[in-house]
Amino acid sequence: MCGIVGLFLKDKTLEPQLGAMLTDMLITMTDRGPDSAGIAIYGPVGDQAKLTVQSDNPDADFQTLAEDLADVLTSPVSLGRNDTHAVLSVANDKVSAARQALRELRPGLRIMSDGDAIEIYKEVGLPREVAERFQLTSMSGSHGIGHTRMATESAVTTEGAHPFNTGADQCLVHNGSLSNHNALRRKLMREGVRIESMNDTEVGAAYLTWRMQNGATLGEALESSLEDLDGFFTFVVGTKDGFGVVRDPIACKPAVMAETDQYVAFGSEYRALVNLPGIEDARVWEPEPATVYFWSR
C-alpha cells in the first residue's frame, strides 16, 4: 500500500504555490506510506540541463564537486545544495558525460534525475520529515508528482523510494506490483535503457522511457503498458510538458482525480485533494480501468 499524488497547474498564478500544495497532499497520504517519500517538481526551463544528485555524506561529496566536475567536462558547472541533495547545472550537451564523470569522481553519489525542468527529492522517513528537510513548501513550478512508500518488493532505502527517473524529464510513481519486472528488466537493459535498482517501479518507468525513445507519445506508451506489463498498478507519470495516469484493467488500487479551470489533481484517496483551492466546485471522478488520461502544455 502506497500513496500517490499529482498536480498539473493550468493557472500560472498558482505556480509559486506548487510545492506547498503538493506537500500538503503528500503528508495527507502518510498512513499509506510511512517508510519513505519523494517528490518530482517541474520548474522553469533555463539554458542548462539539471542533474539532481543525492549523497549519504553530502558535506564531503558536495564541497568541491562543481569544480571537480567542471574540470573533467571543461565546461562551467554550478551546484545548489539542498540537504542531502544537490542540483548540478551543466551544458545541455554535457549530460551524458557528466553522468559518467560523476560515477568516477564520486562513486557514492546517486543520480536522482536529469532533464531541463525536473528535480527529484526523496529520502527515507515520514513524508512530513522529508518535506521539511528539503523545504518542499517553498518550491515553485508548473506540475509535480509525489509518493509515500510502504515497501513490499524491496528494502527501505533512498534508492528504493519513488519517483524514478529513467529518461530526461520523465519520472514515474506507482502503487501496486509488477510480476514480470525481472524479465522486462533484462530486455530493457539489452536495449540500452538505464536501470539502476531491483525495484519493479523503476522497470515500469524504464519501459515507458523505452517506448517514448522509440517514437511513442506518452499516451501511446501508457496504452502499450496495459498489454506488456503484468500485475496490478496505478501509474502517475511526469514529463517536461505534463503528466499522465493509467490503472491496470482490474484497478484494485484506489485513485481519484479532480479538475478545475486552475488545475488537474490526482490522489490515491480524496482526502489528499480536500485542501486544494476550489475543490468544492471541481469535477471529481475515479479514473476508469485500462484507460489513459494525460494533460500537457
Q: How confident is the model at residue 196 (pLDDT cuts 50, 70, 90)?
A: confident
Q: Taking residues 174-179, what's their average pLDDT?
A: 91
Range with top average pLDDT, 157-171, 210-224, 269-283: 269-283
User: What percentage of the chain has pLDDT greater than the value 70?
Assistant: 99
Higher pLDDT, 266 or 195: 266
Q: How confident is the model at residue 158 (pLDDT cuts 50, 70, 90)?
A: confident
Residue 152 reports pLDDT greater than 70 = no
Q: Cα–Cα distance between 26 and 275 in angstroms, integer?
A: 12
Q: Taking residues 105-112, what's their average pLDDT?
A: 96
Q: Taking residues 88-112, what's their average pLDDT?
A: 96
The pLDDT, as a whole number, for residue 153 is 61
Q: Which active-site residues does the annotation give?
A: 2
Residue 140 reports pLDDT greater than 80 = yes
237: left (phi over 0), alpha (psi -120 to 50) or beta: beta
Q: How confident is the model at residue 293 (pLDDT cuts 50, 70, 90)?
A: very high
Q: Read off the pLDDT of residues 89-98 as tens digits, 9 standing for 90 and up.
A: 999 999 999 9
